[in-house]
Amino acid sequence: MHELPVSVKPLNVLLVGEESAVAQTLKRLAASQHRIVGVLASPDKAANAGASVWQLAQQLGYRTWTARTVKDPAFAEVMRDEQVDVLLNVHSLYIVAPAVVAAPRLGSFNLHPGPLPEYAGLNTASWALYRGATEHGVTLHCMEPGIDTGPIVFQTRFAVAEGDTALAVYSKCIRNGLALVERLLATDPAAWPSETQDLTRREYFSKQIPEDGCVRWNRPAREIYNFVRACDYFPFASPWGSPRAALNGLPVGLIKARLTGTACNALSGTVRAASNEAVEVACADEWLRCERVLWQERAVNAAAVLAQTATVQL
């Protein structure tokens, strides 16, 4: 973080969250003039790469509490004793107790990886790709007892490219979100914006996976392609897994696919060879090139599994 303007005083910040977004936030806060009161994270949460947030906080010498502590109203008294000015909730899935939300002197703020109010809830990067969105965003908003309902402080929207995967979109959320956190902490609190959300435009997304995670070959190829990239967090685990079809009664997951633009009038699910590594499968309107699949818990070239079959089931 850059040096604070003369008009902005260092703040006492309490950080809550998991994974890369909060790890990067923690590192930037540690290099700033603000005081980190402590970090709430999960001690048993495995890190995608390097130290977990819990381990990183302890390595840097900060006090730690388990992430679920935000659910305990009694923790509000601890926060007041520590003179917490700001609570920053970064990609944490725990519902924060109202007393905890109200405890900081200046407020509690949530960094949400989606543009509010249109994309509230879970796995919003995946939902945006599944729906074919060409734009997504990230929102820093005041926390209220409802989920993702508080006034918007800062928001950034960005373009979603044709080939973006869910990981690519989520990474854009992190990069743009970090900039919003820095902007908040570099601004005089008296000048923090507060824009009430238009909840008539709100849509909330739950843990549910579209189509129960199944591929429907009788849909347009674009829809199936969007589903595949909405599940693609490679090399990390996807919250949606991989879209599944069936081969001889056994599940086969689609990992990598791309559009061909080649019209077809074959029966949906018909398979034809495309190369030594890939096959093409007939959809409602065109052939979809399938390059990598998950077969018997292994990622393999699609041709190795599907090249000898005439159809793959819905």
d(CA 161, CA 167): 12
Amino acid at 107: G
Distance CA 116, CA 267 (A): 41
> For 188-241, how does the pLDDT look when each residue is reduced to its tens digit (9 = 90+)?
999 999 999 999 999 999 999 999 999 999 999 999 999 999 999 999 999 999
- The string of pLDDT tens digits covering residues 245-267 is 988 788 999 999 999 999 999 99
CB atoms within 10 A of CB 252: 25
Token pair for residue 311? Answer: 């159809």
Dihedral sign of CA atoms 243, 247, 251, 254 in order: negative
pLDDT digits (tens, 9 = 90+) for 153-174: 999 999 999 999 999 999 999 9
| Torsion sign, CA atoms 191, 192, 198, 199 | negative
* Domains of the chain, earliest start first: 12-205 (3.40.50.170), 211-306 (3.10.25.10)
